[in-house]
């Protein structure tokens, strides 16, 4: 199952999001469609990130997909203009504090690798195409904030004055049964609305 997750929707149930979360919504969909299975999230997105989420319909397929290389690409709008218009960011990331969700770059963190390409620039911000080569929590957000180019609307690593512009628009994987490459694409609403701007 492929879902286009909207902005500010939690993936899983929590104290704050007991029913308004993606897993609960998919569970309700399964009940309505008489699909007798559990929800197995393959690719996760942050609460404030929109875009493509992969869901396996069985534990066995989830297990097989966990062994596959899944290519994920994102569109992000960052503050300012990058000096290097394309490149690879290699910086280690870990939690700031054990009890805190916030991550940052530390020498003893896990090595995190982000590939990027600037698509276009305006005076105060840039649209960047980003590919995750590792999958750390908040990786894109931390890497660009560390380089003094936080994502527009990022409430943790930026000023958070508007919605965060980070969207998973591309997922490619090898189907574990049919052994065929599957590519899914979906542009963000904010890019469609401003493509002629």
The DSSP 8-state label assigned to residue 189 in this structure reads H
**Spatial contact of 77 and 151, defined as CB atoms under 8 Å apart:** yes
Query: Considering only CA atoms, which of 155, 185, 151 is closest in space to residue 165?
Result: 151
Continuous segment of H or E residues that includes residue 23: helix 22-32
CA distances from 29 to 38, 39, 53, 61, 186 (A): 11, 10, 15, 19, 21
Our answer to whether residue 46 is catalytic in this structure is yes
| Sequence-separated (6 or more) residues with CB below 8 Å from residue 109 | 91, 92, 93, 94, 103
Active site residues: 46
């Amino acid at each position: 199952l492929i879902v286009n997750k909207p902005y500010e929707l939690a993936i899983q149930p929590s104290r704050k999001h007991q029913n308004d979360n993606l897993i609960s919504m998919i569970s309700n969909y399964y009940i309505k469609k008489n699909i007798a299975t559990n929800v197995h999230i393959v690719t996760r997105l942050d609460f404030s990130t929109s875009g493509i989420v992969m869901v396996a319909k069985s534990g066995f397929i989830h297990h097989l997909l966990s062994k596959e290389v899944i290519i994920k690409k994102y569109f992000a709008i960052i503050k300012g203009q990058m000096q290097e218009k394309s490149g690879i960011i290699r910086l280690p990331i870990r939690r700031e504090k054990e009890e805190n969700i916030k991550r940052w770059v530390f020498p003893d963190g896990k090595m995190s690798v982000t590939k990027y390409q600037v698509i276009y620039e305006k005076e105060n911000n840039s649209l960047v195409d980003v590919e995750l080569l590792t999958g750390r929590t908040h990786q894109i957000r931390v890497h660009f904030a560390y380089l003094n180019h936080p994502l527009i609307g990022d409430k943790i690593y930026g000023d958070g004055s508007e919605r965060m512009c980070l969207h998973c628009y591309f997922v490619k994987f090898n189907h574990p049964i049919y052994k065929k490459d599957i590519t899914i694409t979906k542009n963000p609403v904010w890019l469609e609305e401003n493509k002629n701007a």
